[in-house]
């Protein structure tokens, strides 16, 4: 695992602040920043009337990318930053598994969808295909079955769909402050 830049998160406000201040880099060859990407994912979850837990998971699913300094194009160097584990390492101290487990599983969910949905695999962006190979490639049939049997797997698959959709250049969506009440309500 790459080194953590941020050892602790003090408050809901600090989490959203981190997203706002460090999320300005472009999102791995996509036409949006990390912040825009996260806000779009949370917006799609909200528009679908998902639970506050899943909305917050969508908002924070890529926080791990802001917690290391391995660089924006880390996958180009053949490194899987394990960003989902970095995020859960920090967020798990303050948010329930209903938030952190879909985050932890959102990369596995991509490997699951690649093995079970040919259309999904065909539509992956070039940078997502590159990171897929670093993440272990599509699941085998038995891996997919055991993944789906686990807790929060379906939430992770739903989150993954928002993740993949949240790359729309110029889309206007609410900012981080729109989610403060949700994060506060879930904060442990």
Residue ranges binding Fe ion (CB under 5 A) = 62, 163
8 Å CB contact between 68 and 4: yes
Cβ at position 37, least distance to Fe ion in Å: 6
Cβ closest to Fe ion, residue 117 vs residue 145 = 117
Cβ at position 27, least distance to Fe ion in Å: 7
Cβ closest to Fe ion, residue 62 vs residue 155 = 62
Rounded to an integer, what is the distance from CA 140 to the centroid of its chain? Answer: 23
> Cβ atoms within 10 A of the Cβ of 139, count?
21
Cβ at position 141, least distance to Fe ion in Å: 26
Rounded to an integer, what is the distance from CA 155 to the centroid of its chain? Answer: 12
Cβ-proximal residue to Fe ion, closest one = 163
Beta bridge partners of 26: 33
Cβ closest to Fe ion, residue 32 vs residue 95 = 32
Cβ closest to Fe ion, residue 61 vs residue 182 = 61
Residue 58: closest CA among 185, 171, 169, 183:
183
């Amino acid at each position: 695992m790459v080194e953590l830049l941020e050892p602790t998160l003090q408050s809901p406000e600090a989490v959203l602040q981190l997203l706002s201040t460090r999320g300005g880099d472009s999102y791995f060859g996509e036409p949006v920043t990390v912040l825009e990407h996260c806000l779009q994912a949370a917006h799609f979850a909200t528009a679908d009337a998902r639970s506050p837990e899943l909305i917050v998971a969508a908002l924070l699913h890529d926080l791990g990318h802001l917690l290391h300094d391995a660089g924006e194009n880390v996958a180009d160097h053949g490194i899987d930053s394990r960003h989902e584990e970095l995020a859960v390492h920090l967020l798990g101290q303050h948010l329930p598994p209903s938030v952190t487990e879909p985050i932890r599983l959102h990369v596995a969910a991509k490997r699951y969808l690649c093995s079970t949905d040919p259309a999904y695999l065909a539509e992956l962006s070039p940078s997502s295909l590159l990171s897929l190979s670093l993440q272990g490639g599509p699941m085998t049939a038995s891996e997919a079955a055991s993944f789906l049997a686990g807790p929060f797997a379906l939430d992770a698959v739903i989150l993954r769909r928002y993740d993949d959709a949240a790359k729309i250049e110029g889309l206007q969506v609410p900012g981080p402050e729109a989610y403060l009440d949700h994060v506060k309500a879930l904060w442990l």
